[in-house]
Amino acid sequence: MRAGSRLLQAVSCLAGAVRRRDREIVRTAGAALTEDTPRDALIGIGNRRHLDDSLRTLGMLDSREYVIVMIDLDHFKSINDRFFHVVGNKVLVRIAQEIVAGSRPGDLAARYSGEEFVLVMSDIDDTAARTVCDRICRAIHVIDWSFYSSDLTLTASLGLASSTEVSGGPLDVLSLADRYLYLAKQAGRDCVMGADPRPAS
């Protein structure tokens, strides 16, 4: 075999190994929760430790596109003030369920802190990611809380950032998502900012 042919074969084998490694890393980072997954004790989805570990894993990839979404419940403190933490905790559980239901199988949903959540989606373009976020935003808006009070309502603000928007790693994308979240709050809450500048209708 000529030297040039051997070199091409070696390069092809190396490229195949890299692709297999990337698929395995993404599968691990976005895998569904298992018995060993660090979970939030209250609401059952991934906790901050699980999120941090997954972002570190995602950062090992050289050229993988992904989206990170920051989700914050609007005026959640007023719910705890009016109905106390027993109801507030039940609300958080229901919100986590809506986030998981509105996302795709394999997406990573985690509690970031307090009433903040993070959603990580790999192998998705900005338009599809925006559709997921709009769906979650609307689903939270229409939840019927009348079991607790006839005047209890709750909305969420979402900030959506893509890895294609920054030159850094997952933490930089997370930071950008947080800035978009701030813009959503400034725009009146109950909307999505990022990927498309228009608020969700």
Domains, the chain, in order of start with CATH, read: 3-193 (3.30.70.270)
In one-letter notation, the amino acid at residue 136 is: I
- How far apart are the C-alpha atoms of 158 and 185, rounded to whole Å? 9
Pairing of the two strands 192-193 and 156-162: parallel
- How far apart are the C-alpha atoms of 77 and 117, rounded to whole Å? 15
User: 119-151: per-residue pLDDT in tens?
Assistant: 999 999 999 999 999 999 999 999 999 998 898
User: What confidence score (pLDDT) does residue 153 get?
Assistant: 93
| Helices 126-141, 76-102: crossing angle, 10 deg rounding | 130
Does residue 177 carry a pLDDT above 70?
Answer: yes
User: What confidence score (pLDDT) does residue 60 get?
Assistant: 84
User: 59-80: per-residue pLDDT in tens?
Assistant: 887 667 899 999 999 999 999 9
CB 87 within 8 A of CB 35: no
What tokens were used for 51? 């999120």
What's the pLDDT band for 20 if we cut at 50, 70, 90?
Answer: very low
For the chain, helix, strand, coil in percent to 5 are 50, 15, 35
User: 89-129: per-residue pLDDT in tens?
Assistant: 999 999 999 999 999 999 999 999 999 999 999 999 999 99
Catalytic residues: 115
Does residue 25 carry a pLDDT above 60?
Answer: no
Does residue 26 carry a pLDDT above 80?
Answer: no
Q: Would you call 169 helix, strand, or coil by DSSP?
A: coil
Least confident of 9-13, 37-41, 66-70, 78-82: 9-13
User: What confidence score (pLDDT) does residue 64 get?
Assistant: 75
Query: H helices then E strands: how many in the chain?
Result: 5, 5
pTM (2 d.p.): 0.80
